[in-house]
A = this chain, B = another copy of it.
Amino acid sequence: MIRIAIDAMGGDFAPVEIVKGAVEGAKEYNVALQLVGDEEQIKFELAKYDINGLDIQITHTDEVIEMGESPTKALRQKKKASIVLSVDSVAKGESQAVVAAGSTGAAMASSLFGLGRLQGIHRPAICATLPSKKKHIVLVDAGANTDSEPKNLYQSAIMGRVFAQEVLGYENPTVGLMNIGEEAGKGNALAKETFAILENKKEELNFIGNIEGRDVLVGDCHVIVCDGFVGNVILKVVEGTAVVLFDLIREQFMSSPFAKILGGLCKPLFGNIKKKMDYSEYGGALLLGVKGITVISHGSSKAHAIKNAVRVAKEAVDKDINGKIVKGL
């Protein structure tokens, strides 16, 4: 049985929502858990649920890396931080994957140091799942490498494709390069050089060429490749634009008594859209390229997101995506 290590202290709603989601995930996806954090708090949360028949172990620690801390500094000082011990459990082979909703930087750094890189991988990348008008799509790198080289983006394309095939279920996912124009020869030096490499592997990668910012949510490009700085900006601009638009809609529906009534009647329709755009449906982003599976969940994850993160972690292990990445290189 697969065991998943969960940083029970990471995220805005830890440990309450983390433990709840972990228990739900363990039940639904039939996995064992390694909950890492304050034992007393974890036990208090576990007591709320029927955990009969579940295989749950606890690793106690009272060190936690907070969101504002410098990851590298914190890792040096807090050798027993919950995220460090979670990763450690995978490094020792006691667990097969980590789910972390705390500091992304700390999850990344501890995974990189604790697990090491996959054979042949120059740098790990964050593989984020995004909603689109059609099915879910993949954005890679969503923030691991802020100064990337063309070879990093090429490896991101391979890793993103394996993820899109194995976890999102695309048979032959399309790969596109994020750029500022569709034609070859567009973009900065990184984009131009990467284009040449990807074009060279056109068939293997199902490379469809450059795509632009306005294509992201259309959903025809299944794996969007870019460097970590641009990817992180995209992720947050999409999120921010959606939040502001929904705020503006809410304002309109509060603008008069009649509008309020309309708003009430429209609620189920907007509920459908919000569900489609909801990040918690896909649980978290995968840090790909390390020797192990690390799922990085949104800091504001509630139980539903953590449950789905457990599913993603389990699928990544079950489908041996790391083996397939190494084979694909």
Contact = CB atoms under 8 A, between A and B. Distances in A.
A266 B273 contact: no
Contact of A217 (B234, B241, B253): B241
Q: Which of A185, A187, A218, A236 is most buried by chain B, counting CB atoms within 10 A of its CB?
A: A236
Contact of A236 (B68, B213, B242): B213
A185 B273 contact: no
B232 A214 contact: no
A217 B191 contact: no
8 contacts: A70-B185, A147-B189, A188-B227, A212-B240, A214-B237, A237-B237, A245-B273, A248-B273
Given A235-B213, A237-B213, A270 B245 contact: no
B188 A212 contact: no
Interface in A174-229: 178, 180, 183, 185, 187-189, 191, 212-218, 227-229
State the majority secondary structure of interface residues on A. helix
A262 interface: yes
Which 6 residue pairs are nearest across A and B when measured between Cβ atoms? A213-B236, A214-B240, A146-B188, A213-B237, A252-B269, A241-B241
A248 B235 contact: no
A51 to B, nearest CB: 37
Interface string A230-270: 10111111111111110111001101000100100110011
Contacts of A245: 241-242, 245, 273, 277
Interface of A: 68, 70, 132-133, 143, 146-147, 178, 180, 183, 185, 187-189, 191, 212-218, 227-230, 232-245, 247-249, 252-253, 255, 259, 262, 265-266, 269-270, 272-273, 276-277
B213 A240 contact: yes
Contacts of A228: 180
B262 A276 contact: no
Copies of this chain held together in the complex: 2
Contacts of A70: 183, 185
Contacts of A242: 241, 245
A58 to B, nearest CB: 32
Contacts of A253: 269
Given A180-B229, A217-B241, A266-B266, 7 more contacts: A132-B244, A143-B180, A188-B229, A214-B239, A215-B240, A242-B245, A252-B272
A152 B251 CA distance: 39
Contacts of A236: 180, 212-214
A135 B142 CA distance: 30
A217 B235 CA distance: 14
A265 B256 CA distance: 13
A244 B229 contact: no
B233 A213 contact: yes
